[in-house]
Amino acid sequence: MSSVFIDSVLSAVVSRNPAEPEFIQAAREVIESLDPVVQKKPEIVRLKIVERIVEPERQVLFRVPWVDDKGQVQINRGFRVQFNSALGPYKGGLRFHPSVNLGIIKFLGFEQVFKNALTVTPIGGGKGGSDFDPKGKSDSEVMRFCQSFMSGLFRHIGPDTDVPAGDIGVGGREIGFLYGQYKKLTNSFTGVLTGKGLTYGGSLVRTEATGYGLVYFTSRMLQDRGTDWQGKRVVISGSGNVAIYAAEKVQSLGGKVIALSDSNGYIVDEEGIDLATVKRIKEVERGRVKEYVESRPKGSYTEGCIGIWTVPCDVALPCATQNELDGNAADILIKNGCIAVAEGANMPSSPEAVERFLEARVSFGPAKAANAGGVATSALEMCQNSMRLSWTFEEVDVKLHGIMDNIYAQCRDASEAYGLPGNLVAGANIAGFLRVAEAMMAQGVV
Ligand code: NDP
Ligand code: 2IT
């Protein structure tokens, strides 16, 4: 009965969301994991919880006009998908990248619902962004864009309603401009965004949180294989916020990060990536990763980012973007002896890649569990804002570490309870789903 049920929910998702392949991909993975759950809990079928959970509560689309430095009018599109508020105010990042469309924001918002549930903090799930490309824009252009974006968004968000944060293309600079405009429009100083600067309500550790959390989670995966980071060769894709702080934590735990990338290509440094150089290029100069070899001549640069997965490693951490690691790349990693893969980016592994890793018994940490440290620390930022006080770096880091250990335990326990030991993909989907489903059932048909 339940397989028929799963098939029928899936085919409705496919037919109701044409031209949204990323959303269908994300929804399919979760829905397929729920087969053993609906068999045990018929009330989920009766109350149509799965059918409701795949439908966003609200979607906001708006025009974002702005004037560039040449005086030309530019028009972008703004999005905010408020996916599920069963556990708390909508929470999730904003992505500014030319590839952004409604389907991408919906896949990210859908993933966020279950990820946020796994953190066991009181936050629902949402996501937003724009097809604006910050690359090559001046600070003034970015500011004018952010002000216009917030002018369209502010009436839909609030500290108890919906709390955006950063994602690809949205870091401290953008959050600052967005916050300033929200404050001006609403005449209020509240914790309406997270990832804020430390001078105006930001939390220590939020910058590092996704990368550090990813490594704390991966430590538990390695521990379950009877090993740790000492001497491990680690390949990390991307060179943005998540990649940089994952690399920093890996290095501090004795691992050797040998490769990083951006959307143009990848660098390899067999002596270990010099992170101070990468931080200068990426965080200060907003440059390209290929500039690394100018300061570190022993490193090498190769055009094209997919080739990074051919660099032999023990641990791979995809931290750039969705579907950046396909079945072929997974085969190469496995052949080269990779023992663990954990996703810092959202849905970076294609379904074929995930299947290969699970079959080959590579320890695999899915995004909604492994990269939840960022949003978990955002929830800690909201908590500090509400209390109007600030915790120390150590206090936040200890809480983050505890949350990641707890997420790992939930995924492992759920995978065992539902007959799929070692499958953290199923474990994360089931544990996250059950938490949201319980709250939805308690709150009635809304
Ligand atoms: P950044 O903008 O700081 O960095 C993004 C990195 O990924 C850059 O190196 C960028 O290269 C690369 N990248 C982006 N798009 C592509 C693409 N289409 N192909 C190849 N490389 C690409 O973003 P973050 O580090 O914040 O985000 C990275 C991933 O982590 C995303 O999937 C995001 O959703 C996820 N994530 C982020 C969290 C956070 O707290 N920031 C929390 C949880 C997940 P280039 O400079 O060339 O564009
Ligand atoms: O994908 C993510 O979890 C994020 N981009 C962080 C969201 C947040 O609200 O901190």
* Residue-wise burial string across 93-121, b where 16 or more C-beta atoms lie within 10 A, e elsewhere: bbbbbeebebbbbbbbbbbbbbbbbbbbb
Fold observed for domain 58-188? Rossmann fold (3.40.50)
Taking the C-alpha atoms of residue 266 and residue 251, their distance in angstroms, rounded to an integer, is: 19
Which one of 106, 116, 167, 245 would you pick to mutate in the ligand 2 pocket, going by the greatest count of ligand atoms within 8 A of its CB? 167
Residue-level pLDDT at 2:
55
SS3 302: strand
Phi, psi angles (nearest 5°) of residue 280: -60, -50
Residue-level pLDDT at 3:
86
How many CB atoms are closer than 10 A to CB 446?
8
User: Which position has the token pair 């979607």?
Assistant: 59
Q: Kindly list the protein residues whose Cβ atom lies closer than 6 A to any atom of ligand 1.
A: 166-169, 171, 210, 238-243, 262-264, 305, 319-321, 324, 344-346, 371, 374
Low-confidence ranges of the chain (pLDDT < 70): 1-2
Distance 125 CA to ligand 2 centre (A): 10
- DSSP summary character for residue 221: H
Indicate the residue type of 210.
T
Distance 168 CA to ligand 1 centre (A): 5
- DSSP summary character for residue 200: G
Question: What pTM was estimated for this model as a whole?
Answer: 0.98
Indicate the residue type of 374.
G
Distance 172 CA to ligand 1 centre (A): 14
Which CATH number does 209-365 carry?
A: 3.40.50.720
Catalytic residue (choose from 127, 249, 282, 368): 127
Which residue's CA lies nearest to atom 17 of ligand 1?
263
Which residue's CA lies nearest to atom 32 of ligand 1?
345
Residue-level pLDDT at 357:
98
Ligand nearest to the CA of 110: 2
| CA distances from residue 391 to 11, 145, 209 in whole angstroms, order as listed | 47, 32, 14
Is 127 designated active site? yes
Looking at ligand 2, which atom is closest to the CA of residue 378?
10
Contact 20, 106 (CB under 8 A): yes
Ligand nearest to the CA of 89: 2
How many CB atoms are closer than 10 A to CB 47?
16
Ligand nearest to the CA of 127: 2
Contact 214, 371 (CB under 8 A): yes
